[in-house]
Chain A
């Protein structure tokens, strides 16, 4: 069963004075199955961020529907949206979005505290995650005291601790050095193996090549997709790279693009 189903999503921004209409998404449809690890790629301005914001229920589409586990999130009432977001979705951001005023542990606890969980339960949930992410030692430190990679791992822990149906990651490697990037991608692959569904938006080929499926967005539409299948990361890397070249040089859809083996 599909965890996420996106149907005919359309988003038009109107400039403040009502003059110009900018179409960010023209018609996007795709679905994500339970346990999948999907990367969405596209150039700046292709509509990636708009898509992610709509999936995160931070923004409303002009038309179209988004189903999370069969529930239409577009129609959720404003009052319930925050609770829905923290119970069903986990977020990992490019610039971590950790609060300076909290220690890493408290940052990770934040969504649970908001849901009114007891300290005992929170701590019980944190321990295995912290062990897996190797942040046990730094839980009591503050975001400004640790490295970017450590911050991002804490952010991943914050996303995981609510046991979300779907993790949404927005350029998670964007602010990391290459070593930390490798670490984080390994981590994503690992938690995916454990059954966690992940949807990642990125324009890093390296990040995308760690996913099981890659969707390409161009001009507000899903332009193409690649399945990893039995390819290694390196092979997928090459395919993605070819696809991007093709998109950039204006190749027609389906002509000369790397074949989808799956």
Chain B
């Protein structure tokens, strides 16, 4: 009796193992994905928890970013593995039906699949964690390299330890996912009837219905999303609109892939002269059915691809443009910005600063200094209304105005520009003034010239709300303007002094500290900043983002590959019989192959095409968002987008041609 029970049980184990082997074509990719996801989750968790990383300056930011990435990964893993696993089970319905008819009860099938689940889970977890532990060191080094910690702190390279917490959490998450998948399997087996099970995938294929409403909704959503993305003006709006636009585009994409594609194909079919042509006839009707089954999967691929493209191009350009961002924020290596300075003090202060720098025994130069007066104003056409007490800048139409006397400007740019008393030069950031004049209260000034490019300090606030630099004939004009917008007469000015230093970061920071001491002694209001000091925290931030970009990009690509692969496999099984019939009816092997090839190409390259279109329309709004963090190098950003898109397309073609082989193998069986 005991013997029989044992035999009985070992039968299940053998059955489960054979099943996995027999279904290797669909299970192997699933297992590989599970292994990959377990490994990646462990890695990102271990990195986020790493103590030595947190102890470094800026490291906390990186840790925080990593933990965000970890959450995204967790959510994504649950959804994605659930989706792929239910695909697997659907493929096996027929097999379950056969077992049922051969005399296995549903309970026995459930037991068998339980053992299968145990096998697959064990393989995924063991291999995944081993891979995770081994690779986490590599990713740690990569991260250090990207955020450039290694150079300053070589000890850090060695301090990466195995994390038990990460191990437990990974186990917990993925055991949960596998259990969920198993419960779903049981549900599917339980709900099914053996006869239906036997029929499996081939229940009478009905022609898809045209859902005009959904198709139109798709067009509207996509159009609106694109419209917002393209027309957004201020970076501040860009941030809030971005989420909204993304949502609209996602909805639009799903609607268009599911309903729009079918509507278009049906319209084409109604056109008899187009439809009844050898080239279009089989393709259109074939595509109709392909789209019916694959629309959601393809929309998923499209959204994931877009996510990869946006994520990578944004983070790559931020990382590569780091130097530009720094220079934007700090036009000179060391900058001094003082407030409440009278026009008489300015030369004196300049002398003192100059003398201090001379004493430092470093080569310095490229000095930039000017006095200015700044205030906030409300723009209404070409009229600027003063908002001198404004605490919050975030209202629509709010602008920063900077007035600089012509003499300082000429000195700064080494020019001999002249201006009539009511003339100004204008430099615009983030917004613009139309026409030839600019009005402050009761005063109107003619814009003599617009300055294309100016080497000034720009804060992210200016990029966000928009700012105007006015070069005015003299101090008198500054006071006029200030009074015209409701300010007190004879206000005190601000003073900017910046210079480049040819020295190491340590020396630069020492000079900065020296200047801070001087500032304190003289009781000047304002601040001294050094680009080098900000560099570390910035590389940490953008490097961290870049790392997460690569990491999530990798994850999404993995997911895309798997979806494409499964689509190819299921398409292959669907087409097997069609392939045969078409040949019998009088299509040559070559014609059949061509027809199917063109359909498959359309189906798989549509998402890529859409993703690229999405990226193109997202470019303006992304560019605005990037401007908020001082990333104003749009040329670099364009190249990053194009480069990432090309690289991704190359990768996509590679995946396609690899998986297409499986497809042809199945079809020719």
Contacts and interface: CB of A to CB of B under 8 A. Distances in A.
Interface of A: 56, 58, 78-79, 81-83, 85-87, 91, 93, 97-102, 106, 109-111, 113-114, 116, 118-119, 122, 142, 144, 158
Contact of A116 (B207, B278, B584): B278
Nearest to A102: B285
A78 B591 CA distance: 12
A82 B205 contact: no
A101 B286 contact: yes
Interface in B582-597: 582-591
12 contacts: A81-B588, A82-B591, A91-B585, A99-B578, A101-B286, A101-B289, A102-B285, A106-B285, A110-B281, A113-B277, A114-B587, A119-B276
B573 to A, nearest CB: 14
B272 interface: yes
**A56, A78, A85, A109 — most chain B CB neighbours (10 Å):** A85
Contacts of A142: 206-207
B650 interface: no
A73 to B, nearest CB: 14
Interface in B203-244: 204-207
A144 B281 contact: no
Nearest to B206: A144
A82 B281 contact: no
B272 A82 contact: no
Contact of A86 (B205, B206, B586, B590): B586
Contacts of B272: 119
Contacts of B204: 100, 144
B278 A114 contact: yes
A121 B288 CA distance: 26
Interface string B560-593: 0000000000000000001011111111111100
A86 B272 CA distance: 22
A144 B205 contact: yes
B276 A113 contact: yes
Contacts of A87: 586
A113 B585 contact: no
B204 to A, nearest CB: 4
Nearest to B290: A101
A97 B285 contact: no
A102 to B, nearest CB: 5
Nearest to A58: B584
Nearest to A120: B272
A100 B289 CA distance: 9
Contacts of B289: 100-101
Interface of B, secondary structure class, is helix
Nearest to A109: B276
Given A99-B581, A119-B273, A82 B586 contact: yes
A86 B585 contact: yes
A82 B578 contact: no
Contacts of B582: 99
A97 B587 contact: no
B603 to A, nearest CB: 14
Interface of A, secondary structure class, is helix
A116 B277 CA distance: 7
List the 10 closest pairs (A to B, CB-CB), nearest first. Answer: A86-B586, A82-B588, A144-B204, A101-B285, A113-B281, A97-B581, A119-B276, A119-B272, A85-B586, A100-B205
A78 B206 CA distance: 35
Contacts of A119: 272-273, 276
Interface of B: 204-207, 272-273, 276-278, 281-282, 285-286, 288-289, 578, 580-591
A146 to B, nearest CB: 11
A110 B280 CA distance: 12
Contacts of B277: 113, 116
B278 A111 contact: no
Contacts of A111: 585-586
A158 B285 contact: no
Given A113-B281, A119-B273, A144-B204, A97 B584 contact: yes
Nearest to A84: B586
Nearest to B280: A113
A103 to B, nearest CB: 8
Nearest to A158: B585
**B273, B278, B583 — most chain A CB neighbours (10 Å):** B278
A110 B584 contact: no
Contacts of A109: 276, 281
Contacts of A144: 204-206
A136 to B, nearest CB: 18
A110 B282 CA distance: 8
B593 to A, nearest CB: 12
Given A110-B586, A111-B586, 13 more contacts: A58-B583, A79-B590, A82-B589, A82-B591, A86-B586, A99-B582, A100-B204, A101-B289, A106-B281, A111-B585, A114-B585, A142-B207, A144-B204
Nearest to B202: A100
Nearest to B285: A101
A91 B273 contact: no
A61 B582 CA distance: 22
Contacts of B285: 99, 101-102, 106
Contact of B585 (A78, A79, A83, A110): A110
A115 B214 CA distance: 37
Contacts of B581: 97-99
Contact of A82 (B276, B282, B286, B587): B587
A111 B587 CA distance: 8
A83 B588 contact: yes
Nearest to B578: A99
A68 B276 CA distance: 30
A101 B285 CA distance: 6
B277 to A, nearest CB: 7
B587 to A, nearest CB: 6
A56 B584 CA distance: 9
Nearest to A97: B581
A98 B285 CA distance: 13
**B288, B584, B590 — most chain A CB neighbours (10 Å):** B584
A144 B199 CA distance: 15
Given A97-B581, A142-B207, A122 B276 contact: yes
A171 to B, nearest CB: 14
A129 to B, nearest CB: 16
B276 A79 contact: no
A119 B585 CA distance: 19
Nearest to A56: B584
Nearest to B286: A101
B273 to A, nearest CB: 7
B173 to A, nearest CB: 42
Contacts of A106: 281, 285
B454 to A, nearest CB: 64
A222 B563 CA distance: 54
B591 A93 contact: no
Contacts of A110: 281-282, 585-586
